[in-house]
A and B are shown apart, each in its own frame.
Chain A
Amino acid sequence: MNERVAIIGVGWSGYRPVSPELSYKEMTYAAAVKAYADAGVDPRKDIQSFVTVAEDFHEGTSIFDEYTPDQLGAALKPMHTITGDGLHGLATAFMMVKTGQFDIVALEGHSKASNILTLPEVNAYAQDPVLNRPLRLNTHFVAGMEMNRFLFETGTTIEQCAAVVQKNRRNALRNPKAAFGADLTLEEILSGPALSWPLGKRDMAEQADGAVVMVLASESVARQLSDKPVWILGIGWCNDSPSLESRDWGVLPYIQKAAQMAYRQAGFRNPQGIVDFAEIDDTYSYKELQSLEALGFCQPGEAGVLTDDGATDIEGDLPVNASGGSLGMGHLLDATGLVRALEVVLQLRGEAGLYQLEDVNIGLAQSWRGVPTTSGAVAVLAN
């Protein structure tokens, strides 16, 4: 078994609302070339195994893993697909290195959301075909119900959710990778069109296209190849009930459990005072608050207050989504968690540019797979 695992190379392409002149293969190739150069590895000689995250219906191709190897230099190599979020892919590559059978593993995730003409309909096909689909529930309608329950149970306000949008889209103005940077007033956010009350259109992250590739290595190899390895201290993932009828709507037990798993590996129980910053799920504005509470950064009902007080700003005690998050950068389908992890890596390496945080040593990335899933993952990284 290998004891420790590090991220030694990262590359990305995008992120943009549309990318008509590029295929997903070209975007992936661009990200891979950057990541391999960053790690100083040759995919044909040095990388022993490859992992990708993708869902068939997002790609418009059945058995999509057929089309994953070529643009990564992975043909005739051990490669497989995880139908999960990018952080599930990170957990997979982490486990593979931990076995001791592999020293260098590459991981890829991408989004070509702009190719999907009917994303709301595709998402609705994730609902239980017998019990839920006949009800013709729209994805955002389900999110609106969850938001309502969360507000009701915790006393969080719509204004506090809007403050998340304001913060993340302002942060995005400093991030050249972010397409949705904006300086909005709370009034502008709250007066946007409604999606499903209390959820407004401006509470929702827009889609973006892009690709992220990472190279992971065992400790001995990481120390040879990299002078700024980012260590994976802990990683956890969990599913709750997939059915809409039998789950908690106000809290996120799967994020709590995933976080506990990651914290246990990292050797702490409570992230407060240990984790310096976080890049977490903000597919919808309220999810950032709900996730902060599930992750144990504060008690239920406190995340909105912390946001109001500026504690989660770039200059705050616990910067959250300093990159702009999904609200500021766009949501990248299955690659979303990988984008979060990439931002943590860049911060820990001191390469975040205009939104670089000072004196950060431990960062957290968290993701959720979207409506109607109860699937999430948490990673704790350190420099």
Chain B
Amino acid sequence: MTMRKVAVVGAGMTRFVRRALETPKELAWQASRMALESCELTLEDVEAVCLGTAPDSFDGIHMNGEYLSDGAGAWRKPYMRSYVGGGTGVFVPIQGWYHVASGLFDIVLVVAEEKMSSYYPHAQAAFITIFDHTTERPLKPNLLWIFALEMNRYMTMYGISKADIARVSVQHKRNAAHHPCALLGDANITVEDVLNSEVLAWPVQRYDVSPVSDGAVAVVLAAEHVAKRLTDKPVWIEGVGWNLDTAHWTNRDLVYPRYVEYAARMAYEMAGIREPKKEIHIAEPYDPFDYKALHHLEGLQLAERGQAPQLYIDGTAALDGNMPVCPSGGLLGVGNPIAAAGLMKIAELFWQLRGEAGGRQVPGQPRRGIAQAWGDLMQVGTVVIMGR
């Protein structure tokens, strides 16, 4: 049985900012228009629209997907919003993939939008309602605390230092200095800056964390016969994978993201990849916190367990290394408008694999890249492998 091939043929993104003046609809519209213009299509050509956006509570809009529909270009078109929490940004292209691979559609617009600043004064408070209403909410947890638990577990089990983890933040923010849409690019940041930043919930400090942001990203997917007509540089979706673990996160060993491993293995199998360390040339693991990039590199089988910091120490992960990690600048550098941040990684692979990434272009004409996102209660992994 042959699978229908699906390509990314266009991409667009807004700047990621702390407080956008645009409404959520306008952000979605801007990214959609840029993506369509990048491949010289109009809304007339779009057969269906897939939307990703994280919790409705940010905007305080019930059925937020319905509200965003016309902004995302879905007027009188088949339209659906998929949702896997923080993993949504890399899931929504998977949703677009099955729309096209099913044979139902040839051209699909994939849009991810997030406006976190509507939640005033800070979006963190919206997260109280993600916890179990009976067993957890009374404890008033927040995300920084639970990720501090995970970071601590990771550091303790493998004897990893704060300084080694800080290298991730430094490299990503330096990469982001070359990204025109970035919120926190900084070409001169040092490990000391990270280690001296404000402690939020030990061991998490301010520069270990990506910023709350507003922004939108869109990509255009096309079936093989259409993609070849639209561009001579299609970037193929070679593998997709996703995996959702139990809601009982407190029963999980937080040292290793098994769900990311399962999602990655699903994608590798589909892409026919046996040795990911050799066959993946660019990695865009999800990095809302610096330790998460390390955690995810291990889950993606791109580093042995507890060994991911070595990739940053020996230069493998650098922009000119053997396997550049987050050349975009990642969430730490570009910003973290949740769903949009995940789709930003797909857009980055698209630009990198076409050689259009400007000042942050990875040398050596990379052929294949992987993007991954993560979310829910340290629970879901979403993976897309793209290649020329």
Contacts and interface: CB of A to CB of B under 8 A. Distances in A.
Interface in A202-249: 236-243
Nearest to A66: B376
Interface in A53-88: 55-57, 60-63, 65-70, 74-84, 88
A74 B66 contact: no
Contact of A98 (B57, B59, B78, B103): B103
A57 to B, nearest CB: 4
B302 interface: no
A49 B351 CA distance: 31
Chain A interface size, as a band, is 35 or more
Interface in B65-86: 65-70, 74-86
Interface stretch (A89-97, A156-164, A176-184): A89-97
Contacts of B62: 55, 57, 122-123, 125-126
A254 B80 contact: no
B55 A239 contact: no
Contacts of B375: 63
A62 B130 contact: yes
A236 B258 CA distance: 36
A239 B79 contact: yes
Given A63-B85, A80-B82, A126 B103 contact: no
Interface string B83-103: 111100001000101110111
Interface in A1-36: 1-2
A40 to B, nearest CB: 23
Interface stretch (B10-18, B175-183, B245-253, B318-326): B245-253
Interface string B126-159: 1101101100000000000000000000000000
Given A1-B4, A66-B376, A122-B62, A80 B130 contact: no
Given A66-B379, A99-B4, 11 more contacts: A55-B56, A56-B55, A63-B83, A66-B85, A67-B247, A69-B246, A81-B82, A83-B81, A92-B98, A239-B79, A242-B68
B80 A84 contact: yes
A375 interface: yes
A130 B56 CA distance: 16
Given A55-B62, A70-B246, A77-B243, A242 B83 contact: no
A261 interface: yes
A101 B4 CA distance: 10
Contact of A1 (B59, B102, B380): B102
Interface string A275-312: 00000000000000000000000000000000000000
Q: Report the 7 A-B pairs with minimum CB-CB distance, sorted nearest first.
A: A98-B102, A95-B102, A125-B62, A99-B101, A62-B55, A75-B246, A126-B62
B91 A66 contact: no
A369 interface: yes
Contact of B126 (A62, A129, A242, A373): A62
Contacts of A95: 98-99, 101-102, 104
B248 to A, nearest CB: 7
Contact of B83 (A2, A65, A261): A65
Contact of B241 (A65, A78, A123): A78
Given A80-B82, A101-B101, A66 B76 contact: no
B131 to A, nearest CB: 8
30 contacts: A1-B1, A57-B63, A63-B375, A65-B244, A65-B376, A66-B247, A69-B245, A76-B262, A78-B263, A78-B266, A79-B244, A80-B95, A80-B244, A82-B82, A83-B63, A84-B81, A91-B80, A92-B80, A95-B98, A95-B104, A98-B101, A98-B102, A98-B103, A126-B62, A239-B79, A242-B69, A242-B70, A253-B76, A254-B76, A375-B69
Nearest to A92: B80
A193 interface: no
A128 interface: yes
Contacts of B21: none
Nearest to A240: B76
A81 B83 CA distance: 5
A241 B76 CA distance: 7
B55 A1 contact: no
A327 B79 CA distance: 27
Contacts of A63: 54-55, 83, 85-86, 130, 375-376
B80 A66 contact: no
B244 A129 contact: no
A120 to B, nearest CB: 11
Q: Which residue, of A65, A79, A81, has the highest number of chain B Cβ atoms within 10 A?
A: A65
A80 to B, nearest CB: 5
A102 B140 CA distance: 40
Contacts of B126: 62
B242 interface: yes
Given A62-B130, A76-B246, A242-B69, A126 B61 contact: yes
A316 interface: no
A100 interface: yes
A257 interface: yes
Contacts of B75: 239-241
Contacts of A84: 65, 80-81
Nearest to B63: A126
B347 to A, nearest CB: 21
B61 to A, nearest CB: 6
A310 to B, nearest CB: 35
Contact of A75 (B54, B56, B83, B245): B245
Interface string A256-276: 011001000100000000000
Contact of A62 (B57, B74, B244): B57
A59 B126 CA distance: 15
B66 A373 contact: yes
Nearest to B81: A83
A246 B68 CA distance: 15
A111 B97 CA distance: 29
A81 B56 CA distance: 14
Contacts of B258: 76
A356 B375 CA distance: 45
Contacts of A238: 76-79
Interface string B253-295: 0000011001100100010000000000000000000000000
A96 to B, nearest CB: 5
B77 A239 contact: yes
Interface string B35-69: 00000000000000000001111011111111111
Contacts of B124: none
